[in-house]
């Protein structure tokens, strides 16, 4: 479809979504679908869960956040279940200001941005449809037209609870324009839009001497006072403050704890009673989520001031720490890089992982548990079982350090350093060593780290380098094993012959002399020891292999060395161990012979085909691995 055709389809859809009618028509819609009257907190909760929820290892994962937020599943579960779900049920929690508190670049602003963008999209869906009194500057819920005396009866008939009162502007129009006939009041469908200031407000504190409270609550229009004769006439007032415009949706209060206290006083009544004072009017109802974000130091300073106790009691604090999973950290970098214009530069496999290892190590806290170091903790957090610990120990470790993830290297620093590596002259590919070098060089320019912290970070870079060294050797090992696949099959067949004889208690026939021999224990153990199968566990392991072999035979399938994951790993390690000298010589020689050159080309092709290497980083990997093996 041509772009202009798509534009026409878009315009047509916008026309179809639009709806106008009277209050009488609106009541028919309410009877058909009471959900259209839901309050802002319930709408946001339904918006999030409508995208889908899955449970992973006992923690809920919300697909609504999955494209932008990584590694914060527990935080998001707390946010959605303990705040939005409770608020959606009209508990006292909805009368609290939501404050996201955490370190810089931890995802607080991204969460708020996603809620705002989500509301804009959700208001265009059937499930999130919103309706308002046409012409109301605060996009008011039409049910506010119903007199208080009739609301209990309305609730019995429609099963809808009405909360809030008409704004001064609509109250005046009801009497002057519509003669009190609420059934004739025009109603329209509302589409939330931050750009049009409909249902989303944003307040950012600036100089308290020059910033006016009118930014929050609106102001008198002095040019119309002579026309309407009074400052208390709603027609002489601009209902254009952020609290007015955010009605029916949400208001983001940026850096709330930096704001002058006169701006915060209005939040006391709004959060607890659902209304605020503006101009010379009675309290004005507002249905909106107030969401603020701040860092830990500002929050601690705010808490220490006794004057802030009233506001503190009206806050729900949700900690938003840094991500602590290496695999999720990589996704953060991939997302940020994808937003740049650097797609022509190839990023070698494990380059972002090396940076992620460094970042996550800097955020972890030392454990008091015996045998648990930071590297083990990092792997455990990332879903691996480590020696002495399983995934069931994860919760205990997480509870051990409540402030874990609230400090350390932030993603912005890493992306800044990656950018410096990207823009070097003639760069076509960056590898893990380039990344670690850029991170190390950047520590000298980092404005806020002490000498002790720098030393600690250098140790983490060294640890990330060691992790990469193991990954590099393993990658080349696998590629070489594929190049010597026939050798791997020979090892497998020898092992299986001996395992079969061992399990069946029979001897094995020598293929050349026909001599009957005992199963070759030395050969079997040389393979099993590669994956840590102990002497006591060898019998069970061999029986497991024999069962798998029999299962394949019954189904007429060939049993390959890749048919059993642990056996595959053992054979690859055994073969690589046998080939270590060959690999060492092949990868490090400056003038390879024809056979070596053939192997190098096979290995390079395998790296490019299966592991996303380019010719540049594949050759660099082989050279680097050769230097590692020669040490």
- The pLDDT score that the predictor gives to residue 124 is 94
- The pLDDT score that the predictor gives to residue 425 is 62
Calpha distance 94→269 (Å, rounded)? 13
Average of per-residue pLDDT across 81-106: 91
Residue 264 sits in the same domain as residue 147: yes
Residue 357 sits in the same domain as residue 502: no
Residue 95 sits in the same domain as residue 166: yes
Average of per-residue pLDDT across 441-456: 84
Share of the chain above pLDDT 90, in %: 43
Does residue 101 come out as left (phi exceeding 0), alpha (psi in the -120 to 50 range) or beta?
A: beta
pLDDT classification of 276: cutoffs 50, 70, 90: confident
Residue 218 sits in the same domain as residue 315: yes
467 by Cβ neighbours in 10 Å (0-12 / 13-18 / 19+) ranks as buried
> With 90 as the cut, is the pLDDT of residue 87 above it?
yes
Q: Please, what's the b/e burial string for 216-250 (b: 16 or more CB within 10 A of its CB; e: otherwise)? A: bbbbbbeeeeeeeeeeebbebbbbbbbbbbbbbbb
pLDDT classification of 572: cutoffs 50, 70, 90: confident
What lies within 8 Å, CB to CB, of 133 at 6+ separation is 139, 140, 141, 142, 144, 145, 170, 185, 186, 187
Q: Which range among 348-357, 366-375, 433-442 shows the weakest confidence by mean pLDDT?
A: 366-375
- Report the domain count for the chain: 3
Residue range of the domain that includes 556 = 484-581
Average of per-residue pLDDT across 565-571: 87
Average of per-residue pLDDT across 551-578: 84
- The pLDDT score that the predictor gives to residue 586 is 67
Average of per-residue pLDDT across 439-446: 85
> With 80 as the cut, is the pLDDT of residue 576 above it?
no
pLDDT per residue as tens digits for the range 15-60: 889 999 999 999 999 999 999 999 999 999 999 999 999 998 788 9
Q: Are 398 and 363 in contact (CB under 8 A)?
A: no
Calpha distance 302→8 (Å, rounded)? 52
> With 80 as the cut, is the pLDDT of residue 206 above it?
no
Calpha distance 10→425 (Å, rounded)? 44
Quick check: pTM over 0.75? yes
pLDDT per residue as tens digits for the range 101-160: 999 888 999 999 999 999 999 999 999 999 999 999 999 999 999 999 999 999 999 999
Q: What is the mean pLDDT of the chain?
A: 88
Residue 241 sits in the same domain as residue 284: yes
Q: From 298, 319, 340, give the residue that closes a domain.
A: 319
Strand intervals (E) in 300-349:
315-319, 346-347
Calpha distance 197→214 (Å, rounded)? 15
- The pLDDT score that the predictor gives to residue 587 is 65
Residue 456 sits in the same domain as residue 499: no
Consecutive H or E run containing 299: helix 296-304
Residue 339 sits in the same domain as residue 456: yes
Residue 59 sits in the same domain as residue 152: yes
Residue 293 sits in the same domain as residue 230: yes
pLDDT classification of 70: cutoffs 50, 70, 90: very high
Q: Tell me 505's DSSP state.
A: T
pLDDT classification of 588: cutoffs 50, 70, 90: low
- The pLDDT score that the predictor gives to residue 20 is 95
Q: From 257, 286, 319, give the residue that closes a domain.
A: 319
- The pLDDT score that the predictor gives to residue 590 is 66
Average of per-residue pLDDT across 67-78: 93
> With 80 as the cut, is the pLDDT of residue 315 above it?
yes
What lies within 8 Å, CB to CB, of 425 at 6+ separation is none
pLDDT classification of 316: cutoffs 50, 70, 90: very high
Residue 152 is encoded by which pair of tokens? 């209990």
| DSSP, residue by residue, 130-190 | EEEETT-TT---GGGGS-HHHHHHHHHHH---------HHHHHHHHHTSTT-GGGSEEEEE
Of residues 6 and 170, the one with the higher pLDDT is 170
Q: Are 220 and 168 in contact (CB under 8 A)?
A: no
Share of the chain above pLDDT 70, in %: 96
Residue 258 sits in the same domain as residue 287: yes
- The pLDDT score that the predictor gives to residue 584 is 66
Residue 402 sits in the same domain as residue 290: no
SS3 286: coil
Calpha distance 32→25 (Å, rounded)? 11
What is the pairing mode between strands 429-430 and 346-347? parallel
Q: From 432, 463, 494, give the residue that closes a domain.
A: 463
Residue 571 has, within 13 A of its CA and on its CB side, a CA count of: 24
């Amino acid at each position: 479809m041509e772009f202009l055709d798509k534009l026409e389809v878009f315009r047509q859809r916008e026309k179809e979504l639009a709806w106008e009618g009277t209050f009488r028509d609106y009541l028919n819609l309410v009877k058909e679908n009471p959900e259209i009257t839901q309050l802002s907190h319930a709408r946001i909760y339904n918006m999030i869960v409508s995208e889908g929820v899955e449970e992973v290892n006992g923690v809920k994962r919300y697909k609504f956040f999955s494209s932008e937020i990584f590694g914060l599943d527990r935080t998001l579960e707390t946010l959605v279940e303990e705040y939005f779900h409770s608020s959606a049920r009209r508990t006292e929690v909805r009368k609290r200001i939501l404050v996201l508190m955490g370190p810089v670049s931890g995802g607080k602003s991204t969460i708020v941005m996603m809620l705002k963008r989500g509301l804009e999209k959700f208001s265009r869906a059937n499930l999130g449809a919103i309706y308002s009194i046409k012409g109301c500057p605060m996009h008011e819920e039409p049910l506010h037209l119903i007199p208080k005396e009739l609301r209990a009866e309305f609730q019995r008939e429609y099963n809808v609870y009405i909360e809030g009162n008409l704004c001064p502007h609509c109250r005046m129009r009801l009497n002057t324009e519509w003669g009190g006939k609420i059934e004739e009041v025009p109603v329209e469908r509302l589409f939330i839009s931050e750009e049009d200031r409909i249902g989303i407000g944003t307040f950012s504190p600036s100089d308290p001497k020059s910033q006016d409270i009118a930014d929050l609550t609106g102001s008198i229009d002095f040019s119309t006072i002579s026309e309407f004769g009074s400052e208390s006439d709603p027609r002489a007032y601009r209902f254009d403050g952020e609290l007015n415009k955010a009605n029916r949706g949400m208001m983001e209060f940026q850096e709330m704890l930096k704001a002058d206290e006169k701006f915060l006083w209005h939040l006391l009544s709004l959060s607890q009673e659902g209304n605020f004072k503006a101009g010379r009017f009675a309290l004005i109802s507002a249905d909106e989520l107030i969401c603020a974000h701040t860092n830990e130091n500002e929050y601690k300073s705010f808490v220490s001031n006794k004057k802030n106790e009233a506001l503190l009691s009206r806050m729900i604090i949700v900690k938003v720490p840094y991500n602590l999973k290496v695999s999720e950290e990589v996704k953060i970098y991939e997302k940020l890089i994808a937003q740049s214009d650097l797609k022509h530069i190839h990023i070698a496999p494990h380059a972002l992982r090396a940076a992620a290892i460094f970042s996550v190590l800097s955020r972890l806290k030392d454990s008091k548990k015996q045998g648990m170091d930071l590297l083990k903790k990092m792997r455990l957090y990332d879903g691996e079982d480590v020696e002495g610990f399983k995934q069931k120990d994860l919760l205990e470790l997480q509870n051990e350090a409540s402030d874990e993830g609230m400090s350390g290297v932030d993603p912005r620093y890493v992306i800044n350093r990656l950018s410096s590596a990207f823009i070097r002259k003639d760069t076509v590919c960056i590898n893990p060593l380039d990344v670690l070098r850029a991170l190390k060089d950047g520590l000298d320019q980092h404005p806020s780290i002490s000498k002790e912290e720098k030393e600690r970070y250098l140790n983490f870079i060294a640890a990330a380098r060691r992790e990469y060294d193991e990954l590099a050797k393993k990658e080349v090992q696998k590629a070489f094993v594929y190049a010597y696949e026939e050798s791997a099959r020979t090892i497998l067949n020898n092992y299986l012959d001996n395992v079969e004889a061992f399990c069946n208690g029979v001897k094995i026939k020598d293929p050349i002399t026909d001599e009957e021999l005992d199963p070759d224990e030395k050969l079997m153990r040389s393979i099993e020891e590669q994956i840590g199968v102990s002497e006591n566990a060898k019998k069970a392991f061999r029986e497991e292999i024999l069962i798998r072999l029999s299962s394949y035979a019954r189904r007429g399938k060939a049993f390959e060395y890749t048919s059993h994951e642990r056996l595959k790993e053992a054979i690859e390690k055994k073969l690589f161990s046998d080939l270590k000298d060959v690999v060492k010589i092949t990868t490090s020689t400056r003038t390879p012979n024809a056979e070596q050159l053939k192997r190098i080309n096979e290995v390079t092709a395998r790296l490019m085909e299966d592991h996303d290497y380019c010719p540049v980083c594949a050759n660099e990997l082989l050279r680097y691995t050769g230097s590692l093996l020669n040490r």
